[in-house]
Chains A and B, each alone.
Chain A
Amino acid sequence: MDAKYADSFVVEGKLALPYQYFAGRTGSRFITTIRDKKKIMGLKCDRCGKVFVPPRSTCERCFVDISNNWVDVKNTGTVTGFTVIRYKEPYQPFDPPYIQALILLDGADTPMVHIVKGIPVSQMQMGLRVKAVFAKKTTATIMDIDHFRPDVKDHVKLGYTYEELEIGMTASFSKTITETDVYLFAGISGDFNPMHMNEEFAKKTPFGTRIAHGALPQCLCAPVLGMKLPGLGTVALEITTRFKAPTYFGDTITCTGEIIEKLEDRKWVRMSLTWTNQDDKLVAEGKALVMPPQSS
């Protein structure tokens, strides 16, 4: 057809009508709970056990009213599917490229579609553990969950769990105790006893020279228990120490911990502790009762 655009009657139009949609009681409670409590809730079908997020007042399979069966789901979840949006449209929440993902929240049975940030597009994969980031400024919309990002807790290697610990496992930490350490410790503890501070006074004591505070080498059990065995996530419940020999300035003290008992009922472990100096002389010995980290 030999038609010319310039000679054609073409109307420029636009469909744009401001609207208000009421989400209903179920949807309102879901959104306002995210807004006010930063908590995500679902509705559970008692008949089939399915937890719907976003919540639905009726189970679509069982045809039963579930509108009062609210359950809390976690802010964490697993990516069960994703795509990378590379085209630009005005309604998109972020500039492309961004990751649109199906996220199955812990405790829910229906993944919800949202956005994942904080990971390069090239490294995105199914099964990624993510955590909701709540919006700083709330809008009472689903965007009160601003986005999800990788759950960084997963990247910190927690210590051995109760199940992983075996009797006989050992770990140690060594450090040279200097005059500086002793002076700092005096400041920390308030113990400015001249036997630690004053060489002339110390000459008159049974040790003949200044020695470190007993609690200073004792502290070296903390990096053993808290960072090595069982490791990160451990809670110390009880530590007993019997001092056997003094620690002189310049001594290198090694604290060694060993698993000696597993307390099945409480899932705690008992450990033996020994402190030795550079000459393998026993400086102190004791025991520790600790609660190992739980599996994440």
Chain B
Amino acid sequence: MARRVGICAVAQTTYEPDKWTERFQGMALEVIESIQAQTGVDFSAGRGIGMSINVSDDIFDARTISDNAMTDVLGAHFGCEEKVAQEGIQAIYYGLAAIQSGHVDVVLVVGHCKESQGKSRNRVTHVAFDPFYTRPVGLDFCAAAGLQAQAFMDQSGLTEEQLAAVVVRSRENALKNDRLPAVEPVTVEEVLNSPMLADPIRRLHAYPVSDGAVGMLLVAEERVNEFSDTPVWITGVGNSMDSFFLGDRDLASNDALKQAARRAYRRAGIADPKTAFDVVEVSDLYAYQQPMWLEGLGICDTGKGGLTASTRGHCKPVINPSGGTLAGNPMILGGLVRAAEASLQLMGKANGHQVEKAATALAHGVMGPAGQFHSVVTLARA
């Protein structure tokens, strides 16, 4: 059996709508220096960081090969430098594979994004579509999410009130999370009266434009103790990519997420996801996604997502104690932040929003229009 991989440290900047006084390199440096301070890790050959994985997006950074701007910050000159341009949680999978294969012992993962740099986030996600059939008709991730939200609400019976409750609860949790200083509380009425973006998605159902950086140190089992007293084991990972064209998929089905979850649970030896976790962090870019993804992950039964996400006490794990992506993380980092937050919970280092006695957790990432790609990572306290 391949050696285990531990998360020895995580670090995050704050996430804010416009960190205009920061360069993204500066945000990343803050994260790396925090990880170094926590672990004492360095870049010494054979001992220190053997691989640096940068998570960034060319269009959000407005430059191709966006990791080129990060090499010196990552300490990657003449080192093994890699880039993940998809969901940041993929970098964990990548680092895990690099360590389990025996290539390296220590992997640094750092993701950054300044969504505020671009004039419009929709214009970035618009170019994720093909130029032949879907760009000319005006698609972007928000429009695609509108189509999926309508399909899911139609099938699941999810109500406007439940969606509002998801947003209110996300903000309540986020107010206890010191990484989200810009979050303000909202009321159910404010959400219900918020203007429509793409029916049935309202403005307050959508995650805010966000800037920030996140990182973590992944270490091979036998060297974990050099860097941390509170490592978190990666117990399972699973991915699944659905069809590109929206019409080729059943938008309300959760097909890809169910597959990703099954793969992660099989690796982790999890038989019943309902009872397996103390904390679950899902990437909810829009409010409808939290109940939908909870159903797809098997945290609750199909048709119970609305109830589970809107009211406490209908499932075993605590859902998105950090506030979730809905409270404000850059989209491309959503899953990586979820994994960082889940790890903090298991390390007992989630300031202000610590879930008591959290021993197991799940982190979920999503990318592509209307949940095309899903990634699931399961974690356990050492």
Name A residues whose Cβ lies closer than 8 Å to a Cβ of B.
Answer: 1, 3, 5, 8, 10, 13, 15, 19, 21, 23, 27, 31, 52-54, 60, 81-87, 89-94, 100, 102, 104, 110-115, 126, 141-143
Query: How many Å from the CB of B156 to the closest CB on chain A?
Result: 14
Query: How many Å from the CB of B315 to the closest CB on chain A?
Result: 28
> What's the Cα separation between A82 and B151 when bound, in Å?
8
Q: Which of A27, A92, A100, A112 contacts B146 (CB 8 A)?
A: A100
- 13 CB contacts below 8 A, A to B, read A15-B59, A23-B132, A84-B146, A84-B198, A85-B143, A85-B146, A86-B198, A87-B197, A87-B198, A91-B140, A104-B247, A110-B245, A112-B245
Q: What mask results when residues 102 to 134 of chain B are scored 1 for a CB within 8 Å of chain A, else 0?
A: 000000000000000000101100100001111
> What's the Cα separation between A53 and B247 when bound, in Å?
9
> What's the Cα separation between A110 and B21 when bound, in Å?
47
**B137: A residues at CB distance < 8 A:** 93, 100, 113-115, 142-143
**B150: A residues at CB distance < 8 A:** 81-83
Q: Which of A82, A87, A91, A111 contacts B247 (CB 8 A)?
A: A111
> What's the Cα separation between A113 and B139 when bound, in Å?
8
Q: Which of A27, A84, A111 contacts B132 (CB 8 A)?
A: A27
Q: Which of B196, B197, B248, B251 contacts A110 (CB 8 A)?
A: B248
Is B199 in contact with chain A by the CB < 8 A criterion?
yes
> What's the Cα separation between A53 and B117 when bound, in Å?
37
CB-based contact A142/B138 at 8 Å: no
CB-based contact A54/B251 at 8 Å: no
Q: What mask results when residues 318 to 346 of chain B are scored 1 for a CB within 8 Å of chain A, else 0?
A: 00000000000000000000000000000
CB-based contact B143/A100 at 8 Å: yes
DSSP majority for the A interface? loop
> What's the Cα separation between A31 and B131 when bound, in Å?
13
For B244, give the chain A residue with the smallest CB separation: A60
> What's the Cα separation between A93 and B245 when bound, in Å?
19
> What's the Cα separation between A52 and B140 when bound, in Å?
22
**A94: B residues at CB distance < 8 A:** 138
Q: What mask results when residues 133 to 149 of chain B are scored 1 for a CB within 8 Å of chain A, else 0?
A: 11111111011001101
Which 3 A-B pairs give the minimum distances between C-beta atoms?
A83-B146, A111-B247, A92-B138
CB-based contact A91/B138 at 8 Å: yes
CB-based contact B21/A112 at 8 Å: no
> What's the Cα separation between A112 and B21 when bound, in Å?
43
Given contacts A21-B132, A54-B132, A110-B245, whether A15 and B122 have CB atoms under 8 Å apart is no
> What's the Cα separation between A19 and B20 when bound, in Å?
31
CB-based contact B140/A89 at 8 Å: yes
Known: A87-B142, A100-B143, A100-B146. 6 other contacts (CB 8 A): A10-B20, A31-B132, A81-B147, A84-B198, A113-B134, A113-B139
**B134: A residues at CB distance < 8 A:** 113
Question: Interface residue count for B (Cβ, 8 Å)?
Answer: 39
CB-based contact B132/A81 at 8 Å: no
> What's the Cα separation between A142 and B251 when bound, in Å?
23
Query: How many Å from the CB of A253 to the closest CB on chain B?
Result: 55
Name B residues whose Cβ lies closer than 8 Å to a Cβ of A.
Answer: 20-21, 59, 62, 120, 122-123, 126, 131-140, 142-143, 146-147, 149-151, 154, 195-201, 243, 245-248, 251
**A13: B residues at CB distance < 8 A:** 62
**B195: A residues at CB distance < 8 A:** 86
Query: How many Å from the CB of A140 to the closest CB on chain B?
Result: 11
For B130, give the chain A residue with the smallest CB separation: A21
CB-based contact B136/A86 at 8 Å: no
Q: Which of B142, B199, B247 contacts A113 (CB 8 A)?
A: B247
Given contacts A5-B20, A15-B62, A100-B198, whether A85 and B138 have CB atoms under 8 Å apart is yes
Given contacts A81-B151, A84-B199, whether A60 and B243 have CB atoms under 8 Å apart is yes
> What's the Cα separation between A86 and B136 when bound, in Å?
17
CB-based contact A126/B133 at 8 Å: no
> What's the Cα separation between A3 and B198 when bound, in Å?
37
Given contacts A60-B243, A87-B197, A142-B133, whether A82 and B123 have CB atoms under 8 Å apart is no
For A103, give the chain B residue with the smallest CB separation: B247
CB-based contact A93/B136 at 8 Å: yes
> What's the Cα separation between A94 and B138 when bound, in Å?
9
For A24, give the chain B residue with the smallest CB separation: B132
CB-based contact A112/B133 at 8 Å: yes
Query: How many Å from the CB of A80 to the closest CB on chain B?
Result: 8
Query: How many Å from the CB of A229 to the closest CB on chain B?
Result: 40
**B132: A residues at CB distance < 8 A:** 21, 23, 27, 31, 54, 141-142
Most buried by B among A21, A86, A104, A110: A86
CB-based contact B248/A60 at 8 Å: yes
Query: How many Å from the CB of A61 to the closest CB on chain B?
Result: 9
Query: How many Å from the CB of A81 to the closest CB on chain B?
Result: 5
